[in-house]
């Protein structure tokens, strides 16, 4: 085949007007090893088509297996939805039972029991417990005394620093006024222009 004939067949092929016989002629031409450089791109296209013909057809029952797999997946999803709904209901019921059980447990435990039959012994035990609690609280506040001293020293230091800073700030203001006065004396024309 000459290049003009191949070009004409390719135009027909790309416009969708070629016959099967013409397409077969193109495939055999491009499978031959002797090609002009201008047809290198088309060679890749037709070599792809010849390679695609070697892909095997799916086995029999392929579509049925896919449809069955999709149906199984849908069945599993609907079963999972039912399980999730039941799990939610059972969780709510278990939570409700725990709350009711806790309520009765707390009410039963909250009833005071008389541990001492003699009121004088009960009073003495109460005083003893309160004294013990008071001594532990006092020991805890003794440790905080050191913290209180540190806080007082820090606040005094900050007051001193603030006082020094305000003095420094006021002196800087005075210097700024002095600078403006000097500028007015030495550069009166520039100040008038800047205004």
* Residue 96 within a domain: yes
**Which range marks the domain in which residue 27 is found?**
3-52
Closest listed residue to residue 27, CA positions, set 55, 66, 1 = 1
Residues 155 and 181 in one domain: yes
Query: Which pLDDT score is estimated for 38?
Result: 77
The DSSP code for 37 is G
| Averaged pLDDT of the chain | 80
Please compute the mean of the pLDDT values over residues 91-118 and round it to a whole number. 79
Residues 98 and 117 in one domain: no
* Residue 152 within a domain: yes
Cα radius of gyration (the chain):
50
Q: Cα separation of 139 and 129, whole Å?
A: 16
Residues 138 and 156 in one domain: yes
Residues 149 and 179 in one domain: yes
Number of DSSP helices (H) and strands (E) in the chain, helices first: 6, 0
* Residue 69 within a domain: no
Give the Cβ contact number of residue 186 at 10 Å.
9
Closest listed residue to residue 29, CA positions, set 67, 1, 70 = 1
Residues 38 and 80 in one domain: no
Query: Which pLDDT score is estimated for 195?
Result: 46
Name the range with the highest mean pLDDT among 53-62, 107-116, 131-140.
131-140
For residue range 6-20, list pLDDT tens digits in order.
Answer: 888 888 888 888 888
* Residue 94 within a domain: yes
Which pLDDT band, with edges at 50, 70 and 90, does 191 fall under?
A: low
Alpha helices in 54-118 (DSSP H): 62-110
Residues 126 and 164 in one domain: yes
**Predicted model pTM:** 0.28
* Residue 57 within a domain: no
* Residue 161 within a domain: yes
Q: For the chain, how many structural domains are there in total?
A: 3
* Residue 178 within a domain: yes
Please compute the mean of the pLDDT values over residues 75-101 and round it to a whole number. 90
* Residue 64 within a domain: no
For residue range 149-162, list pLDDT tens digits in order.
Answer: 888 888 888 888 88
Please compute the mean of the pLDDT values over residues 75-103 and round it to a whole number. 90
């Amino acid at each position: 085949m000459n290049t003009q004939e191949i070009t004409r067949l390719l135009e027909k092929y790309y416009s969708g007007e070629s016959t099967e016989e013409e397409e077969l002629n193109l495939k055999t031409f491009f499978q031959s090893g002797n090609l002009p450089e201008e047809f290198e791109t088309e060679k890749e296209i037709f070599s792809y088509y010849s390679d695609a013909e070697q892909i095997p057809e799916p086995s029999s029952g392929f579509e049925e297996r896919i449809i069955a797999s999709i149906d199984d997946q849908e069945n599993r999803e609907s079963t999972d939805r039912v399980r999730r709904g039941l799990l939610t209901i059972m969780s709510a019921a278990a939570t409700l039972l725990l709350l009711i059980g806790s309520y009765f447990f707390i009410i039963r435990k909250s009833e005071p029991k008389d541990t001492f039959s003699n009121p004088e012994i009960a009073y003495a035990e109460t005083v003893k417990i309160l004294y013990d609690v008071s001594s532990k609280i006092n020991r805890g506040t003794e440790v905080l005394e050191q913290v209180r001293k540190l806080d007082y020293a820090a606040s005094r230091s900050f007051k001193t620093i603030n006082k020094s800073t305000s003095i420094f700030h006021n002196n800087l203001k005075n210097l700024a006024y002095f600078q403006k006065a000097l500028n007015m004396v030495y550069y009166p024309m520039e100040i008038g222009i800047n205004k």
